[in-house]
Amino acid sequence: MNKPLTKLTKSGVKKLEAELENLKTVVRPEIAEKIKLARSFGDLSENSEYDEAKNEQGLIESRIAEIEQTLAHAIILDDDEISTEKVGIGNIVTILDIEMEEEMTFQIVGTSEANIDKGHMSDESPIGKALIGHSVGETVTAEAPSGEIQFKILNITKKEEE
C-alpha cells in the first residue's frame, strides 16, 4: 500500500527525526528491559507486567514504523522557496475573524505536523484549505462544521531560520 506523500517543513522533519532517535535509543531498550524483568517473574499466562510491557512494545514499534514511513515519503519544503505573496504550507499567517473581530496567527503545515495548541494549522483543515493561495487583504470563507466563517488575511510571513 502506497502512503500519499506528506508535506513537511524542515523543523517538522527535525522533530520527527529527534522523536525517532529517542524511541530507538532510549524507549525501545527501556521496554526490552521491562519485558526481561517481567519474564523473570515466571508464568507468562498470568503475568500482567509482561502483557503490559508487550503492549507498550507494540505501540512503540508501530510509532517507529509510522515515523520511518512518513520520513521516507515526505516532501520537504525548502524555506527559501516559501513565498509570502500567497498563503502556502510553511507560511505564518495572521487573519482576522470578521464576525468575532478576533486576530489569530498560526503556521500552515502539512497534516502530520498539525497541532493547533502549538499554532500549527493543517493545510487540509477547513480554515487552512480556505486560506491556501490567497494574498494579504483578501477575505476568504471557510466551511467549518459550525457554518461559514469569513476571515481577512492581515499578514503572511515565513519562519525565521532556527
pLDDT of residue 125: 93
pLDDT of residue 142: 94
Residue 2 has pLDDT above 60, yes or no: no
pLDDT digits (tens, 9 = 90+) for 103-162: 999 999 988 889 989 999 999 999 999 999 999 999 999 998 889 999 999 999 987 544
Distance separating the N- and C-terminal Cα atoms of the chain: 35
**Is the Cβ–Cβ distance between 20 and 71 less than 8 Å?**
yes
Residue-by-residue DSSP string for 123-143 = TTSHHHHHHTT--TT-EEEEE
Instruction: Tell me the CATH number at 61.
Output: 1.10.287.180
Phi-psi region of 161 (alpha: psi -120 to 50; beta: other; left: phi over 0): beta
pLDDT of residue 131: 96
Domain finish residue from 76, 102, 135: 76
Structural domain total, the chain: 2
Contacts of 148 (CB under 8 A, 6+ apart): 141, 142
- Confidence band for 1, pLDDT divided at 50, 70 and 90: very low
Domain finish residue from 24, 50, 76: 76
Residue 5 has pLDDT above 90, yes or no: no
